[in-house]
Amino acid sequence: MLLLVSPKDVNEAIEAIEGGADIIDVKNPVEGSLGANFPWVIKEIREVTPKNLLVSATIGDVPYKPGTAALAAMGAAISGADYIKVGLYGTKSYNQAVDLMKKVVKAVKDIDENKIVVAAGYADAYRVGAVEPLVIPKVARDSGCDVAMLDTAIKDGKTLFDHLDKETLREFVEETHRYGLKCALAGSIKKEHIPILKEIGCDIVGVRGAACTKGDRNEGRIERELVKELVELCRQ
Amino acid sequence: MLLLVSPKDVNEAIEAIEGGADIIDVKNPVEGSLGANFPWVIKEIREVTPKNLLVSATIGDVPYKPGTAALAAMGAAISGADYIKVGLYGTKSYNQAVDLMKKVVKAVKDIDENKIVVAAGYADAYRVGAVEPLVIPKVARDSGCDVAMLDTAIKDGKTLFDHLDKETLREFVEETHRYGLKCALAGSIKKEHIPILKEIGCDIVGVRGAACTKGDRNEGRIERELVKELVELCRQ
Amino acid sequence: MLLLVSPKDVNEAIEAIEGGADIIDVKNPVEGSLGANFPWVIKEIREVTPKNLLVSATIGDVPYKPGTAALAAMGAAISGADYIKVGLYGTKSYNQAVDLMKKVVKAVKDIDENKIVVAAGYADAYRVGAVEPLVIPKVARDSGCDVAMLDTAIKDGKTLFDHLDKETLREFVEETHRYGLKCALAGSIKKEHIPILKEIGCDIVGVRGAACTKGDRNEGRIERELVKELVELCRQ
Amino acid sequence: MLLLVSPKDVNEAIEAIEGGADIIDVKNPVEGSLGANFPWVIKEIREVTPKNLLVSATIGDVPYKPGTAALAAMGAAISGADYIKVGLYGTKSYNQAVDLMKKVVKAVKDIDENKIVVAAGYADAYRVGAVEPLVIPKVARDSGCDVAMLDTAIKDGKTLFDHLDKETLREFVEETHRYGLKCALAGSIKKEHIPILKEIGCDIVGVRGAACTKGDRNEGRIERELVKELVELCRQ
Amino acid sequence: MLLLVSPKDVNEAIEAIEGGADIIDVKNPVEGSLGANFPWVIKEIREVTPKNLLVSATIGDVPYKPGTAALAAMGAAISGADYIKVGLYGTKSYNQAVDLMKKVVKAVKDIDENKIVVAAGYADAYRVGAVEPLVIPKVARDSGCDVAMLDTAIKDGKTLFDHLDKETLREFVEETHRYGLKCALAGSIKKEHIPILKEIGCDIVGVRGAACTKGDRNEGRIERELVKELVELCRQ
Amino acid sequence: MLLLVSPKDVNEAIEAIEGGADIIDVKNPVEGSLGANFPWVIKEIREVTPKNLLVSATIGDVPYKPGTAALAAMGAAISGADYIKVGLYGTKSYNQAVDLMKKVVKAVKDIDENKIVVAAGYADAYRVGAVEPLVIPKVARDSGCDVAMLDTAIKDGKTLFDHLDKETLREFVEETHRYGLKCALAGSIKKEHIPILKEIGCDIVGVRGAACTKGDRNEGRIERELVKELVELCRQ
């Protein structure tokens, strides 16, 4: 299982890299759970990250505006992101989500066929009126994405597991694999969740708080020792 | 006064070019008044447009998400747009609008200092809760934009002049010029409005319906003869 | 494929019976797409319907109130309904929908194990904030229902096929069958849709307008000749 | 004055019975102030309650859906409730409330003429947009109910008396009596309110917190000693 | 029964006076059903109206702002209105309505004890979330008003009788009389409603459309002949 | 710079007068940031205030109802207020604000040309959907007001300076002066803000909390010593 870590600045990115993270994720939490960061921040983090590691960037908790989303995805790809994540926040149905993701996929793959596009849904979609998490694998499949992901929309301390139980998540992973796609799971994941995610077959786990001092995503800072522990749990 | 025309496809773009339009504007009306079109559409229109003419592209009626907006602006600039227009839809105050536009300006000018950034407000902002049109010149000034623009948010047949009278628009133009910026006005503009816009000193007028057969922005199509008439009115 | 017809009174019910409908469905359109009718109406229609035909009754486009829903389901079952349909309107997620349906199933099966419980989602769920239609098969499976159904929430002339295309519906049917359940589809179904529904393997099709004079669900009335035609299409 | 006590499970019901409560009330607070409980819970409490005591059950804080409400009322009656309470939550006017209650009355009285139907309004109706409490007596009269009741919609520690003063409540009681109906009052009633309710002529008082340890409706449990004290206050 | 007529300008006021109206009512329909007109309009109409006729003025469909309402009532009284009508639009309960009306009564009676204060509710209160019409008599009584009135909040062609039937209105009138107050009824009243209003004992009927050419409150104008006919119907 | 102090009763008014305040302001905080007080309160405070001092009264955080506002402004003026302040809360655009203020100005100046009318906007207008603060000077100019003012709409401890920085406020003051009008600023102003307001040229500063014991606008009371300190800061 690969470990994706979300630093908030270059110093934290270096800690994540030194700790052995597989994917360095650029977010801007001020703009939402999957808030987009600025082109210059993506570039800067891409520059400090070794070539063999992937940089992921999110383009936001997007409204149902495929044109804006496609332009933003292009901006992220040009800025150096290898993974382009899209938070399916304002799309209210499978159809809208597929429509938007198809345009994002085309924008990204026109630049580089090898870039990876991630359709990210929310485990707590019902709290924000977003599309149901259990249809994300089909959305990813039908729009040509590479990865189906879940995160939590509202960061109120509730974790992925507070909204979806292990058996439901297992079904999510298996359905994604059946479609030949990879699966990423995030959402205030704690150390003790990692073995469970491995057990159900998850490909990528996303963390921030668990890699921070005191487990605090806001007040704490990412430290390489904590990242190392998580990496080991993922590798076991 | 320059004439900006908004075609909806390449054929219409050619009509606008042949008719003598100064700026070819790429929009996607399905996504709103200033809806964004896709990177490949911007590129295609840039390719058919002569070098000496400018291509304008809008990045959407954007929410208050500076990160997403900056990435989308970068996408539009990379796709070939010379003018990058941003519809200040979800920004609820002068402060939010300045914050968002500053990030867009940085993203665009990092690519090419000569690209032009347009802060577009809505004459009928009160109908959608957007920032008051009369502060757009200050927003443009304080964020480093080149042009302050007004359009209408809701396309229900009401024109720019139904929401703001001539004297208010004149003050808008004069304040914009006082700050050393250019001014663009649009919003279901009809032929008879053009002399008024010239009289008050407007730099750029934006049209679509007035350049279409039967004056119908939806059912009609842009024709070069109609564009020519408008160009002449602008040049007189 | 079985034909379910929704009469609005006893006379129409008799026409549906004489026309050969397989299931006589009691609704109260004034209370919504899957609006509940009164106990005495269900009883009356059960009385005029031959023993070998099934009577279906809906308990409403229900809010997320499992207690109220379970009591209403019990009321419908006691009134004589063989099929108990529940419109999953106010449940905002898979979890809420499963919770509510489990209670309904228990209430109904406590009365008679052979009664059939139908979890009904909406093809246009995104228009009303209801749970995504593509998770209804899992909801039905995990709550112990017998049938997974889709209808349209808003009766504005748009049909099932305006919201979900044939391939998506086929996947819905196949997933439902994979779980060992039956599948019902409705939503302003027209005569020409019936062969398509048969082709994709649908078990039960629900109609009203198509069985009415002039195809008009509101102003027209169900006529046995029209029902016969539909039955023949289902049997072919 | 009769004492109605609302236990949350069978053990509490037994405490209420042993304490001398006149009416054992089955609610499901998770579903709202007058949330409905499940058929099997009503049955179970009916079974442990002596024949000479009445069991009351609420069918929910109902929306304006007379069909669903009538079916649910039937479910509650069949499950053994002697009193059927309906929370007039989603009915926005006298007319809507009368319409809904008429259907509930018919559904219940068709089963047993002696069952009692309670039209329950909310003293704090203005906080939730429900029908004004002062018209509940007319609603009860014009729909054929037996009892007009008031409770509070939002359980935030405010009592009945925080929303309606003693003189207004007295008028409520007197108007109800003038129509030949009984009157029930509830809403975080404390011990010291009971003599006031007796003084103004109230027929039934509903409590939960006041019968619980530490007066805490959530953390406390009903105890027979506390119920006895309340019974004595009601009998004096 | 007295006839209150609502002209929209001085010329119409003269027609109403010449036609024999008992009360000349000053409204400003642009600001709502009971929209307030300006001080200078009230003064002007007071000046053209004979001393023996009463002038009524409304202070608006008011929010729950007793201070603003009291100041506006004072403005209307000082401008010459004899009747001060208050549309209880934003008050959501009996308590709020009584609070606001008490302050209005004090403001008006401090100027002149003989001025008449009218508490006006809406027959279609449920459509706008205003206080239930059937509690208006108690509101008037408990705040010291002189008249309890009903009108319709939304002018969509529906009349008073579309929202409240004759028996309910009769009860409204009788309850008002029992409290020693006068009763006024309005709401797209047509000629044929007048005998019914007389029969149930109404004291004042308010009209506009019925006194206009073609019965059209918007496009028509008040004419003295039409007013005369209505006066005769009221006097019979 | 003049000091405006907002007492909540006559005793506090006397403290403000004794402390040397220039303007005694009558508000009713229960009805909002610029909530209106009752006619009798304005009169009472006018009576205890020396002739040479001005009394200010607000007519509320008003909706877009020019008729109601004009009547209320007349009520305040007749009650003795020299300054009439209007909170532009429900006006959503420059046009609506000018329309409303014109009617208020006419109502007030018809009574006494020397009365002063204040157009008050909100620094945090974006939080309540009110008109942008930066257009208030133009609103005041175009409607014939004497003073352009800013306050905060929501009293949550944030001050004027939390919503608008010093340079923006300076531009507000200068634009107001350019139009020949006076400028007033308020919004949880603290002692340390006063030199800044003086520096940018503000004419009138409004306070309450800063003149109260413990700086607490709610629990504290205005004391003459504190008022004196503020007066000195204003005079320096």
Of A95, A134, A163, the CB nearest to C135: A134
Q: Give the Cα separation of A45 and B110 in Å (integer).
A: 17
Q: Of all helices (H) and strands (E), which one includes residue D140? A: helix D136-143
Facing A76 at nearest CB: one of B71, B76, B106: B71
Query: Which of A63, A66, A74 is the closest to B75 by Cβ?
Result: A74
* pLDDT of res. E217: 86
C103: which chain D residues are within 8 Å (Cβ-Cβ)?
A: 38
Chains B and E physically touch (3 or more Cβ atom pairs below 8 Å): no
Reported confidence tier of residue E236, pLDDT bands at 50, 70, 90: confident
Q: What is the pLDDT of residues F18-60, one digit of tens each?
A: 999 999 999 998 899 999 999 999 999 999 999 999 999 999 9
Instruction: Provide the pLDDT for residue D217.
Output: 86
E85, E103, E115, E182: which one is catalytic?
E85
- How big, in percent rounded to 5, are the helix, strand and coil portions of chain C? 45, 20, 35
Q: How confident is the model at residue D81 (pLDDT cuts 50, 70, 90)?
A: very high
Chains F and C touch (3+ CB pairs under 8 A): no
Q: Do A94 and C134 touch (CB under 8 A)?
A: yes
What is the residue extent of each domain of chain A?
2-235
Query: How far is D102 from chain C, CA to nearest CA, in Å?
Result: 11
Residue C217, pLDDT score: 86
Residue E137: list chain D partners with CB under 8 A: none
Contact E70 F39 (CB under 8 A): yes
Give percent of chain D above pLDDT 70. Answer: 100
Q: Do F138 and B134 touch (CB under 8 A)?
A: yes
Q: Does the pLDDT at position A219 exceed 90?
A: no
Strands A83-88 and F83-88: unpaired
In eight-state DSSP terms, residue E99 is H
Residue F120 C-alpha from the chain's centroid: 7
The Cα of E128 is separated from the nearest Cα of chain D by a number of Å equal to 10
Question: Per-residue pLDDT for A217 more than 90?
Answer: no
| CA distance, residue C155 to nearest chain A CA (Å) | 18
Q: Which residues of B touch A69 (CB under 8 A)?
A: 72
For the stretch E113-162, pLDDT in tens is: 999 999 999 999 999 999 999 999 999 999 999 999 999 999 998 999 99
pLDDT grade for A63, boundaries at 50, 70 and 90: very high
- Chain F touches chain D, with at least 3 Cβ pairs below 8 Å, answer no
Q: Tens digit of pLDDT for each residue in C98-156? A: 999 999 999 999 999 999 999 999 999 999 999 999 999 999 999 999 999 999 999 99
Q: How many pairs of residues across D and E have Cβ atoms under 8 Å apart?
A: 47
Looking at chain E, which residue has its C-alpha nearest residue D127? E92
Nearest to E150 by CA among E88, E94, E71, E100: E88
Chain segment C153-199, per-residue pLDDT in tens: 999 989 999 999 999 999 999 999 999 999 999 999 999 999 999 99
Region B69-96: mean pLDDT is 98
- Tell me the residues of F at the B interface, defined by beta carbons under 8 Å apart: 92-96, 125-127, 129, 131-135, 138, 163-164, 168, 171
The Cα A3–Cα A164 span in angstroms is 21
Contacting chains of C (3 CB pairs or more, <8 Å) are A, D
pLDDT tens-digit profile of D84-93?
999 999 999 9
Q: CB A71 to CB B38 under 8 A? A: yes
> Complex ipTM above 0.90?
yes
Identify the contact set of chain A against chain B, taking CB-CB distances under 8 A.
28, 31-32, 35-40, 59-60, 62-63, 65-76, 78-79, 103, 106-107, 110
Summarize the confidence of residues F179-190 as an average pLDDT: 97
> CA distances (Å), A191 to each of A195, A206, F65, in order?
8, 11, 59
The 3-class SS string of C133-191 reads HHHHHHHHHHHCCCEEEEECCCCCCCCHHHHCCHHHHHHHHHHHHHCCCEEEECCCCCH
What class does CATH assign to B2-235?
alpha beta
For C117, the token pair is 């419980």
Neighbours of B213 (CB within 10 A): 12
Average pLDDT over residues B82-94: 97
Helices (DSSP H) in chain E: which residue ranges?
10-19, 39-48, 66-78, 94-111, 136-143, 160-163, 166-178, 194-199, 224-235
Nearest CA in chain D to C108: D39
Average pLDDT over residues B15-25: 97
Run of H or E including A228: helix A224-235
Helix, strand, coil fractions of chain F, as percent rounded to 5: 45, 20, 35
- The shortest CB-CB distance from D37 to any of C32, C38, C67 is to C67
Q: Is C49 left (phi over 0), alpha (psi -120 to 50) or beta?
A: beta
- Choose the closest CB to C62 out of D35, D68, D110: D68
Contacts of F125 in chain B (CB under 8 A): 93
How high is the pLDDT of residue C219?
A: 87
Q: Quote the minimal CA–CA distance from E129 to chain D in Å.
A: 7
Between chains, do E135 and D134 touch, taking CB under 8 Å as contact? yes
Task: Please name the residue of chain A whose CA is at the shortest distance from the CA of residue B80.
Answer: A71
Distance CA A235, CA A231 (A): 6
Identify whether the C-beta of residue F160 lies closer than 8 Å to the C-beta of residue F126.
Answer: no
B218 pLDDT more than 90: no
* Minimal Cβ distance to E131: which of D96, D132, D164: D132
Chain E interface, Cβ < 8 Å to F: 28, 31-32, 35-40, 59-60, 62-63, 65-76, 78-79, 103, 106-107, 110
| Chains with ≥3 CB–CB distances under 8 Å to E | D, F
From the list A38, A59, A60, the residue facing B103 with the nearest CB is A38
Q: Which of E88, E91, E94 to mutate to test the interface with D (most CBs of D within 10 A)?
A: E94
**CB contact (8 A) between residue B132 and residue F129:** no
Quick check: D218 pLDDT over 90? Answer: no
Chain A residues touching residue B73 (CB < 8 angstroms): 71, 75
The Cα–Cα gap between C120 and C150 comes to 5
Active site (annotated) includes residue A214:
no
For E165, the closest chain D residue by CA position comes to D95
Q: Could B129 and F129 be called an inter-chain contact, meaning their C-beta atoms sit closer than 8 Å?
A: yes
pLDDT of residue A8: 85
Residue B8 has pLDDT above 90, yes or no: no
Whole-prediction pTM: 0.94
Share of chain B above pLDDT 70, in %: 100
- For residues D162-189, give the mean pLDDT: 97
Q: For tokens 């593509």, name the residue.
A: C134
Q: Which amino acid is at E195?
A: P
pLDDT at residue A236 tops 90: no
Residues of E in contact with D95 (CB under 8 A): 126, 163-164
A183 exposed, middle or buried (CB, 10 Å; 0-12, 13-18, 19+)? buried
D27-68 pLDDT, tens per residue?
Answer: 998 899 999 999 999 999 999 999 999 999 999 999 999 999
CB pairs under 8 A between E and F: 113
3-state secondary structure of C148: strand
Please report the pLDDT score of residue C72 as a whole number: 98
Q: Closest to C70 (Cβ–Cβ): which among D39, D66, D106?
A: D39
> Per residue in C39-57, pLDDT tens?
999 999 999 999 999 999 9
Q: Is D135 in Cβ contact with E134 (below 8 Å)?
A: yes
Can you read off the two tokens belonging to residue C156?
């504005």
pLDDT higher than threshold 90 for residue F176: yes
Average pLDDT, chain F: 96
Q: How confident is the model at residue C218 (pLDDT cuts 50, 70, 90)?
A: confident
Q: What percent of chain F has pLDDT over 90?
A: 95
